[in-house]
């Protein structure tokens, strides 16, 4: 795993959520996923986005993340399959980890409120 790159802005020590997206060979789908995630995040400052790039090409997909205030880009250097998520989890700073594939469409604008409520009402769900 190559070192994760942080956003140029100051990064908080912890976040409420880390959204970890694993990608491989689906740039168009990934961009759609990221756009729907951006809408779901809105103005929240407690969400970081971690993109785990399993592609072996030399394309730098960090630029796909510029719309997010808090972002990290992890290039695995190989197609590690779903185990690439472990690389994302290793750098994530969120209390709640949200794992997505690169072809997910988020339609709920209050996704993070719902997740927060679920973990607050059922603390054991995070165990």
Q: What whole-number distance in Å separates Cα of residue 52 and Cα of residue 85?
A: 7
Going along the chain from its start, the domains and CATH numbers come out as 5-105 (3.90.550.10)
Q: What whole-number distance in Å separates Cα of residue 56 and Cα of residue 76?
A: 8
Predicted pLDDT at 8:
46
Strands 94-101 and 15-23: parallel
Name, in order, each residue with C-beta under 8 angstroms of 117's C-beta and a sequence gap of 6 or more: none
Q: Considering the entire predicted model, what is its pTM? A: 0.86
Give 65-109 pLDDT, tens digit per residue. Answer: 999 999 999 999 999 999 999 999 999 999 999 999 999 999 999
Give 2-24 pLDDT, tens digit per residue. Answer: 555 554 456 567 889 999 999 99
């Amino acid at each position: 795993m190559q070192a994760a790159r942080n956003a140029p802005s100051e990064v908080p020590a912890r976040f409420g959520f880390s959204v970890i997206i694993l990608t491989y060979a689906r740039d168009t789908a990934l961009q759609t996923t990221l756009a729907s995630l951006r809408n779901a995040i809105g103005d929240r400052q407690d969400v970081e986005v971690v993109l785990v790039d399993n592609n072996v090409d030399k394309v730098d997909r960090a630029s796909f993340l510029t719309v997010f205030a808090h972002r990290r880009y992890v290039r695995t250097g190989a197609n590690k399959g779903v185990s690439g998520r472990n690389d994302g989890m290793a750098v994530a700073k969120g209390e709640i980890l949200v794992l997505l594939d690169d072809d997910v469409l988020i339609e709920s604008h209050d996704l993070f409120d719902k997740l927060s409520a679920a973990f607050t009402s059922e603390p054991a769900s995070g165990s």
